[in-house]
Amino acid sequence: MLQVLLDGLFVLKHNWTFLLGTVAIIISAGYALNFFFRPKFWQKNSYKHTTLIFFFAISLILRLAYLKNIFVPPYFDSATHFRIIKAMTEGSSPRIFSNAFSTGLENYYHLGFHTLASLLALGLRADLITVILLLGQLTLAMLPIPVFFLIWRETNSREAAFFSALLAGFGWYMPGFAVNWGKYPAISGLLAFEIALLLIVYLDSKKHYLAKGIQATSILLSIFIHSRTLILFSISFLGYFLSSKIATLEKEIQHKILRIELLNIFILGVLIYQEPLLKLAIEPYINENIWVTIIVFFLTPFALKKHSRAIHFSLFFILSLFISLFIPVNDVLPGLITHSLLDRPFVEMSLYIPLSILGGVGFSGLFQSLKKIKFLSERAYKPLSLLIASVLFFFTGLLISKSYNFYPSDCCNFVSYDDTIAFEWINNNLPENTSILVASNPLRVQPLTNSSDLVGSDAGIWIPQLTKKKITLAPYTLDFLSGETREFLCHSQTNYIYVGNKEQSFTSRALLQKREWYKKSLSLSNTQLFQLINCSEQ
């Protein structure tokens, strides 16, 4: 963990101006809302926020360690994000921005993140790649903060709020791992969703029309950043309504409903786990981090009496996320052919929200239960509660430190140092009209679907963005010894073949065997470039 902190500080040292400027904007917005509305709960429970600021600072430093040895944002999605943001920032003409915006809409991309990144890049005069990388890690560091305030409001316990924030930030390797997939819009959408819920809870909209406007705007902005947060808002509003109704029923009826909710979650969980692709949605919560999930469900029963509404809300949230995986929306929404209401990665990223809420209210309920123990005096309660809280925080923190990976995953960090050298060589030595063949694989995120879309599977996907050379995608399993492949390459006017070092990159073995067809132009330890020759003989 010490090495992670040192790496995070190294990144912070080289990017402190951008981070300071962005955090200053966020803090200013928060204090402006507090100044204008002064929520009663905030005033009633005002205290020095040193501990929360310290928690955020440590979280940010730990997150920044991810960027120590990374050259560009990971995975194929990030190349598209970079292209859209770059188009938005080229020139100052509103027409250029409008054209880039319209192009993004045609491809059903969630343009709120791209708009925010482009504005920060222009306003703080920062490099686009740096903006994307830092904004992603800053967003992850901020995710626990709204959860902290939501649980604080529900429980009036700062300790419970910190426990839920710890869970939201680091309890499971999702949503943090999602940056490895380049899911920057989704992560930003989750943060915007949390902030919107926070504003709905804290601002007294009944007495202030401006508050209603801010709440409505926050919901619209969240949907603009990532459209699927609309589903999360629908789940939340319906869940709040139902849980409020359930909380007014007799205890016996409440317990029956609780058993039904748990049974349905279990049944759907089993169905999800039986499907190889869907089971990935729950693996972060039942594999390496199973003990953290067990702690949450151990604490949950203690909250049934005082926080039953929060329990039912969270269980309904989990149940709805599971159900959404089985609701098809084929041809209902643009760009969502072969998709379910919420796709598997988004569900996988969102499950931390209800689980963190369960952990927070369960933590509070545990200590409320201790207070009711008859033979436990008030003098004995304080040291005992302190001991139990310390054990819970220590044990949870220990589990996190043992299992949480703060660094990029080998699966998705496409660009190595050798790739950057190759890009520079391509940029300086090849003509503008060069076409380069790049490895790819079929995109498949939903079961029972066979997408014909190919997505880049190694660093070659970044060639158009960093060298302005054209690329052609082909399956990484392509047989370069085949005459049909040779004919395809010649007829498609491919000039070069890019060989990276990822598991789904082209292999150089066949290319080296056919020296009369392929000529090695560049050879590095992890990257090679072959020229297609003698096509005139075809």
State whether 397 and 516 are in the same domain. no
Predicted local distance difference test score (pLDDT) of residue 250: 87
- Separation between Cα atoms, residue 443 and residue 77, nearest integer Å: 11
State whether 352 and 224 are in the same domain. yes
| 3-state secondary structure labels for all residues of 47-107 | CCCHHHHHHHHHHHHHHHHHHCCCCCCCHHHHHHHHHHHHHHHCCCCHHHHHHHHHHHHHC
Q: Tens of pLDDT along 170-218? A: 999 999 999 999 999 999 999 999 999 988 888 765 557 777 888 888 8
Instruction: Please name the residues in contact with 36: beta carbons below 8 A apart, sequence gap of 6 or more.
Output: 210
State whether 262 and 133 are in the same domain. yes
Domain count, the chain: 2
Q: What is the mean pLDDT of residues 348-373?
A: 89
Instruction: Pick the last residue of a domain from 403, 426, 456.
Output: 403
pLDDT category of residue 31 using cuts at 50, 70 and 90: low
pLDDT category of residue 168 using cuts at 50, 70 and 90: very high
pLDDT category of residue 536 using cuts at 50, 70 and 90: low
Predicted local distance difference test score (pLDDT) of residue 306: 85
Predicted local distance difference test score (pLDDT) of residue 94: 54
Q: What is the mean pLDDT of the chain?
A: 84
Report the 10 Å Cβ neighbour count for 259.
Answer: 10
In a domain, 410, yes or no: no
More confident residue, 166 or 204: 166
Using the structure block, give the residue that is written with the tokens 């740096």: 130
Predicted local distance difference test score (pLDDT) of residue 24: 80
- Separation between Cα atoms, residue 206 and residue 204, nearest integer Å: 6
State whether 394 and 426 are in the same domain. no
More confident residue, 317 or 203: 317
More confident residue, 81 or 91: 81
Q: Which domain range does residue 496 map to?
A: 417-537
Among 137-141, 490-494, 532-536, where is mean pLDDT lowest?
532-536
Contact 171, 289 (CB under 8 A): yes
Predicted local distance difference test score (pLDDT) of residue 337: 46
State whether 216 and 172 are in the same domain. yes
- Separation between Cα atoms, residue 465 and residue 437, nearest integer Å: 15
- Separation between Cα atoms, residue 538 and residue 486, nearest integer Å: 9
Instruction: Pick the last residue of a domain from 403, 429, 447.
Output: 403
Report the 10 Å Cβ neighbour count for 90.
Answer: 12
In a domain, 526, yes or no: yes
Residue 469 to residues 432, 449, 453, Cα–Cα distance (Å)? 6, 32, 21
In a domain, 412, yes or no: no
In a domain, 408, yes or no: no
Amino acid at 313: F
Q: What is the mean pLDDT of residues 385-399?
A: 88
* Residue of 26, 283, 303, 45 lying closest to 164 (CA atoms): 303
Length of the chain: 538
Contact 527, 500 (CB under 8 A): yes
**Share of residues in the chain with pLDDT > 90 (%):** 36
Predicted local distance difference test score (pLDDT) of residue 102: 54
pLDDT category of residue 336 using cuts at 50, 70 and 90: very low
- Separation between Cα atoms, residue 259 and residue 262, nearest integer Å: 5
State whether 309 and 160 are in the same domain. yes
Instruction: Please name the residues in contact with 275: beta carbons below 8 A apart, sequence gap of 6 or more.
Output: 447
Residue 405 to residues 166, 211, 261, 283, 416, Cα–Cα distance (Å)? 15, 40, 33, 15, 19
State whether 427 and 510 are in the same domain. yes
More confident residue, 324 or 332: 324
- Separation between Cα atoms, residue 409 and residue 182, nearest integer Å: 12
State whether 292 and 397 are in the same domain. yes
State whether 135 and 196 are in the same domain. yes
State whether 399 and 422 are in the same domain. no
User: How is 171-227 classified by DSSP, letter by letter?
Assistant: ISSTTGGGGGGT-HHHHHHHHHHHHHHHHHHHS-TTT-HHHHHHHHHHHHHHHHH-T
Predicted local distance difference test score (pLDDT) of residue 204: 64
State whether 386 and 487 are in the same domain. no
State whether 421 and 386 are in the same domain. no
Q: Tens of pLDDT along 57-80? A: 899 999 999 999 899 999 988 988
Instruction: Pick the last residue of a domain from 363, 378, 403.
Output: 403
